[in-house]
Amino acid sequence: MFDYQPQANFLENKIILVTGASSGLGRAAALSYARHGASVILLGRNEARLNAVYDEIEAAGGAQPAVMVLDLLKADDNSYQEVAITVAEEFGHLDGLLHSAGTMSPVLPLEHVTLESWEQQLKVNLTASYALTRHCLPLLRRAASASVIFTSSTAGREIRAYWGPYAIAKHGIENLMQLFHDELHSTSNIRVNSLNPGPCATALRRVAFPSEDPLLRPRPEMLMAAYLYLMGDDSRNENGRQFSSQ
């Protein structure tokens, strides 16, 4: 596991937007960021689940979060622009952006992958990260030091048969991260990195491995050390790198 022990309120006064915040790793990260002092913007498609995370943060005494409902599969460029406009109006800037939203389809040979599944995987797992980052760049530039974390996967760092459009999207994420790094590192205080959480007990993994016992894998909340490190000021000098939680 990634070894990092942050100070209690090391994210105090930071504004962090988390996609996929209603469940899995996004939910765990949002709760963890809030527990360490951040004001978290919870973005996802399931309003009821987002509200449950909101209530959990408030019940624990965290800074009041915000909820933004957006289905990435249905989102267009105007949708992402509206997110950025709303954040600008409510918060003025962003200190961090975690791309944790994702979707998965059963693992299949490419010849059996439908075009609809292909397009869905790329739109949610790759295009959304590009589009939201693009529109949030002005907000990130307003922060003293901003961090963008792209969620990767082992399937995005190795060639693995049958992982199809999910693997293509995650390989794209690694290239997207590197491109943003190359374009931003000398002109802004925005750092970008990718993070592979590794296999863990999430609904996303159950789609790929329906017969796997989830008790054999770490829970999302057990993998938060790397998420915390990359979002805080201790990682100011980490830029354009590939990290893993396990």
Residues marked as catalytic: 166
Distinct helix (H) and strand (E) counts, the chain: 8, 7
Contact 139, 80 (CB under 8 A): no
Q: In what order do the strands lie in the sheet with 146-151?
A: 66-69, 39-44, 15-19, 96-99, 146-151, 190-196, 242-244
- Cβ burial of 193 (10 Å; 0-12, 13-18, 19+) is buried
What DSSP element (H or E) covers 49? helix 47-59
Residue 212 to residue 209: CA distance in whole angstroms = 5
CA atoms within 13 A on the CB side of 33: 31
Which of these, 244, 31, 39, lies nearest to 154 by C-alpha position? 244
Structure tokens at 242: 């590939």
- φ/ψ (deg, to 5) at 19: -90, 155
Residue 25 to residue 14: CA distance in whole angstroms = 20
